[in-house]
């Protein structure tokens, strides 16, 4: 799988194949190469890869992030799997997208949330954020509490997934919000709207010492 700009290549290979073991028990490896130099390719990063049984995937234009998007809908199974700079950045299970049942298409054996007749309409969108001053966190918490009806604010305290998530004090979530795994970092934890807006995935990092906010990957959206 190549990045849209053609500069990077993602390759999945078998890392461990026990004799006589079924294919689904094999161990796989994901490797991303820099192919900008003609006739040569340089390995950028690699990590263990959870193979879903199908080829395909999406590689960001900077080669930092690989995503596998399953067109099958599984409420408690991996629907989107993310890999970032040699690490498994996490998965999003089907129910986290809050897709109405009427929007799912049933087949003989599965439900589909994306069109599987060709390449799903999924793409990476690059976003950036400016460094935040120390007062950013207090301002964000107050603003989020007054903008619940708009889906609130988007921020992150460590590299993790977030879809219209809210940074709030540990006292609890406001009305209409529910804890998202109770991930506690410093004096904050994540809250997620009970009915989030139909956005995608963003992996973001905030450095609490320098108050630097950076988007390490892209935002995965379904136009």
Choose one of 93, 122, 151: the last residue of a domain.
122
Q: Find the angle CA(113)-CA(176)-CA(124) to the nearest 5 degrees.
A: 40
Strands of the chain, DSSP E:
8-16, 27-34, 42-49, 58-59, 65-69, 78-84, 87-93, 105-106, 111-112, 123-125, 161-162, 166-169, 177-185, 188-193, 201-207, 212-221
- pLDDT-based confidence at residue 34 (cuts at 50, 70, 90): very high
Task: Note whether residue 40 is domain-resident.
Answer: yes
Lowest mean pLDDT among 25-39, 60-74, 84-98, 127-141: 127-141
What is the domain range of residue 197? 136-221
The sheet with strand 65-69 has its strands ordered as 58-59, 65-69, 78-84, 87-93
Does some domain include residue 1?
A: no
pTM above 0.85, yes or no: no
110 plus 33 within the same structural domain = yes
Position 128 in a domain: no
DSSP, res 64: S
Q: Are residues 118 and 215 in the same domain?
A: no
How do residues 10-20 score in pLDDT, each as one tens digit? 999 888 877 77
In this structure, of 59-73, 101-115, 136-150, 189-203, the range with the lowest mean pLDDT score is 189-203
188 and 97: one domain?
A: no
Residue 6 has pLDDT above 70, yes or no: yes
Domain tally, the chain: 2
On whether both 19 and 114 belong to a single domain, the answer is yes
Instruction: Dump pLDDT digits (tens) for 140-166.
Output: 445 444 443 343 333 333 322 333 333
Whether residues 60 and 36 fall in one domain: yes
pLDDT tens string 107-118 = 888 888 776 655
Q: Are residues 96 and 164 in the same domain?
A: no
- Examine residue 2 and state whether it is found in any structural domain, yes or no: no
Residue with tokens 């690699």: 46
Q: Clarify whether residues 33 and 55 are in a common domain.
A: yes
Same domain, 212 and 178: yes
- Let me know: does 67 contact 57? Beta carbons within 8 Å: yes
């Amino acid at each position: 799988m190549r990045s849209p700009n053609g500069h990077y290549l993602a390759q999945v290979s078998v890392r461990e194949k026990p004799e006589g073991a079924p294919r689904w028990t094999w161990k796989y490896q994901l490797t991303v190469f820099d192919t900008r130099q003609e006739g040569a390719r340089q390995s950028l990063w690699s990590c263990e890869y959870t193979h879903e049984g199908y080829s395909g995937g999406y590689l960001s234009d900077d080669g930092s992030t690989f995503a596998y998007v399953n067109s099958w809908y599984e409420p408690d199974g991996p629907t989107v799997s993310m890999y970032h700079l040699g690490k498994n950045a996490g998965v999003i299970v089907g129910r986290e997208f809050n897709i109405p049942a009427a929007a799912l298409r049933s087949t003989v054996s599965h439900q589909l949330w994306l069109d599987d007749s060709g390449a799903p309409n999924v793409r990476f969108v690059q976003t950036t954020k400016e460094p935040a001053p120390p007062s950013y966190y207090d301002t964000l918490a107050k603003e989020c509490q007054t903008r619940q009806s708009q889906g609130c604010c988007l921020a992150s305290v460590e590299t993790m997934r977030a879809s219209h998530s809210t940074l709030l004090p540990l006292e609890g979530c406001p009305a209409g919000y529910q804890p998202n795994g109770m991930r506690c970092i410093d004096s904050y934890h994540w809250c997620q709207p009970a009915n989030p807006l139909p956005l995608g995935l963003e992996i973001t990092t905030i450095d609490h010492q320098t108050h630097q906010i950076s988007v390490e990957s892209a935002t995965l959206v379904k136009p």
